[in-house]
Amino acid sequence: MSKGISIGIIGGTGSMGQWFRKFFSDAGYMVLVSGRKTEITYTDIINECDVVILSVPLDAAIAISGQIGPLLRKDQLLMDLCSLKEAALKNMLDNTEADVIGTHPLFGPFTDSIKGQNVILCPGRGERRLKWLENEYISKGAFVTVMDPSVHDRHMAVVQGLTHFLTICMGRTLQKMNMDAGSALSCSTPVFRINYDLIGRLFAQDLDLYKSIINNNKHFNDVYEVFLSSVYEGKSALLSGHDDGRSLYLENIREFFKDSCKEALKESNKIINALYL
């Protein structure tokens, strides 16, 4: 596809939409942005753009693809940025004859560059557009993985669902213990400080996004059950029994992660050092 093609972002008024507006503009494409109250309407986007990107919450992406999907031509591309892919992709495919790609950029709007970031692409319809998009991202240094949408959602139940769930529960525990910023930070270690920052980071952002990532992922309940069994197992291994048993429990987990622990130590040292620069 030539740089002459135009890209329209529905919900381009929001944070990811603005990020991708700049990304595609910098790459030489003509980009139009539309929201519910902008002068440029969804209809303008459909009429004037070869590629239509839905950069709105999942429920809205489903509703909007129902409205605009039937109006798209076969030679257009409809894609979304939603954090869950099964429902979004199925809905887009069901509602249009245009090419379709489900995408999930695994980074947020505060990221400076796509270089080194992961992007998941879930093919829907249209091999040529998939190659085009893959090349756009790879040529700017992103790591692109092409993946089945249900595999993606299962992974996200851990990568996003469990991660955010743990952060929320840690925040709730600190709240119950009345450990506010003053008392927490005056006696924090670097690792606790990072955890504290991650709690603040979550609660400083759009809570609807986090609710949706946990609540809308049908695979999260399975992950939650495994996590809960690990909590009980950890309690009985570490808080009771013999010291040998405690060591065995920890050694067994270390064995699973093997050499990646050394890399993780190096990388987390960089994070800790950067914190105090």
Ligand X SMILES: NC(=O)c1ccc[n+]([C@@H]2O[C@H](COP(=O)([O-])OP(=O)(O)OC[C@H]3O[C@@H](n4cnc5c(N)ncnc54)[C@H](OP(=O)(O)O)[C@@H]3O)[C@@H](O)[C@H]2O)c1
Interface residue list for ligand X (CB under 6 A): 11, 13-17, 35-37, 55-58, 60, 81-83, 105, 108-109, 206, 209
Q: What is the rounded CA–CA span in Å between residue 147 and residue 149?
A: 6
Closest CA to 131 of 106, 87, 101, 152: 101
Which residue in the shown chain puts its C-beta closest to ligand X? 14
Do residues 119 and 106 lie in contact, with contact meaning Cβ atoms separated by under 8 Å? yes
Do residues 118 and 93 lie in contact, with contact meaning Cβ atoms separated by under 8 Å? no
- Joined tokens for residue 57: 């919450």
* C-beta closer to ligand X: residue 103 or 237: 103
Beta strands in 112-187, from DSSP E residues, in sequence order = 118-125, 143-146
* C-beta closer to ligand X: residue 37 or 258: 37
Least distance from ligand X to the Cβ atom of residue 38, Å: 6
Least distance from ligand X to the Cβ atom of residue 40, Å: 11
Least distance from ligand X to the Cβ atom of residue 107, Å: 7
Least distance from ligand X to the Cβ atom of residue 83, Å: 4
* C-beta closer to ligand X: residue 76 or 117: 117
Closest CA to 75 of 149, 126, 33: 126
Do residues 217 and 156 lie in contact, with contact meaning Cβ atoms separated by under 8 Å? yes
Least distance from ligand X to the Cβ atom of residue 273, Å: 26
* C-beta closer to ligand X: residue 117 or 195: 117
* C-beta closer to ligand X: residue 118 or 188: 118
